[in-house]
Amino acid sequence: MKRHTLLLLFIIGALQSWGYNAEEENKTELLFPNLIIRRDNYDRMKADIERKGNNSVKTAFINFIKTPATNLVENDAKTTTAISTANNANNVDIKTEMQNIYKLCVAYAFLQEESYLQKAVEYLEAWAAVNVAVSRSNIHESVYTDAVEGYSLIRRVVSETTRHKVDAWIQKRADVFLKDNDLRVNNWGTCLLQQFYFYGLAIDNQSLIDHFNSKYPYWAPSNLYPNGTTTDLLGRDAFAYHAYDLLFFAQICHAKACYEDYESADRFYAQDVHWGASIKRSVDFWKPYLLDPAKNVHFEFVETEWAPDKTRGDYNKPYSPAGTMYVVDELYEMDRELIKAIDKYRGGNQFATWALMLSALRWHYEE
């Protein structure tokens, strides 16, 4: 018996000397699944971050996440809340506040330092206490998505009290969208479906996920067309809006990769929704204009159905792909051929933005 005890103590001591921490590992398990990163990519990325010396993943993490999150913690920066996007007396930059929550959550996930978690909780609870969604304005409500994504990463780590508060906030937002029953055929609809899916996944609400799953098959044929065009491209006559619509599809695909697997995401991306229409088909239709705009010139908004477009600064101007690279950043995970656009407009830097880096992880760790 004594021999077994000594052997057990030796094993525990050896594991600790090798850097193994059971408590930290248990907390890490609680981070998954989430809306930001798959477990396999997290493990590889964390190893790169902890490795001595510099590497592209570590540098991106420090620049986009660690440095800004550390500044928030060390300066004990306070969040400034707003009741809503429509009731924002102090002109709070809501997007920046939500990005701060996101960065704190991601910093905690990789660094496992409680100060980041505590600050994220402080911010989330402050917003949950006062903020409400605006009815029939879901496209503008997408400004909160960063916070929802960040929360999905720490939800199972925070206290039950915090979880109850933040879950209730997100659920109340979803309830407004459900009551609106305002599923439009353009990018507003794509955004709304993404919100139902994200909210459901983030707070583990199967009814919201089911709502997305039941609505999507009947809605998609009205947005994606067999020739690769979209409602937004035809209605607004602009690749700027074709791309914007595809952004929300890309985010849904990423969520499927995180909560299911890449195969599920690939199937959703290539799924024939009606007579050959698919997300992939609409991306393929876009590529010639994206990759060779000099040869494939398109003057934006000329035949738009929405009169205010005619007062835009880019009205009747050639489509500029650089302005839609934020969409390529998130689609790259689903279409490796988009490296051509990254080479052309990002100088080949697959870590030029945080969103692009998350997309690129799928291919980066295959090399």
Per-residue pLDDT tens digits for 121-149? 999 999 999 999 999 999 999 999 999 99
Report the amino acid identity of residue 40: D
- CATH 1.50.10.100 spans which residues of the chain? 30-204
pLDDT digits (tens, 9 = 90+) for 342-353: 999 999 999 999
**Confidence category of residue 45, pLDDT binned at 50, 70, 90:** very high
Say which residues have a Cβ less than 8 Å from residue 253's Cβ, sequence separation at least 6: 265, 268, 269, 279, 333, 334
pLDDT digits (tens, 9 = 90+) for 218-255: 999 999 999 999 999 999 999 999 999 999 999 999 99
In the predicted structure, residue 91 carries a pLDDT above the cut 60? yes
Reduced to 3 states, what is the DSSP secondary structure of residue 58? helix
Q: Torsion angle of alpha carbons 30, 32, 37, 38, nearest 10°?
A: 130
Supply φ then ψ for residue 241, to 5 degrees: -85, -30
* Kind and range of the H or E run holding 17: helix 2-17
111-115 mean pLDDT: 98
Which burial class, exposed, middle or buried, applies to 295 when counting CB atoms under 10 A from its CB (0-12, 13-18, 19+)? exposed
Kindly state the percentage of the chain with pLDDT values over 70. 93
Q: What is the pLDDT of residue 271?
A: 98
Q: What is the pLDDT of residue 18?
A: 52
**Confidence category of residue 366, pLDDT binned at 50, 70, 90:** confident
* Kind and range of the H or E run holding 13: helix 2-17
Q: What is the distance between the terminal CA atoms of the chain, rounded to a whole angstrom?
A: 50
Whole-number Å distance between alpha carbons of 221 and 204: 28
Whole-number Å distance between alpha carbons of 242 and 227: 13
Q: What is the pLDDT of residue 6?
A: 53
Q: What is the pLDDT of residue 15?
A: 47
Whole-number Å distance between alpha carbons of 242 and 186: 10
CATH top-level class of 30-204: mainly alpha
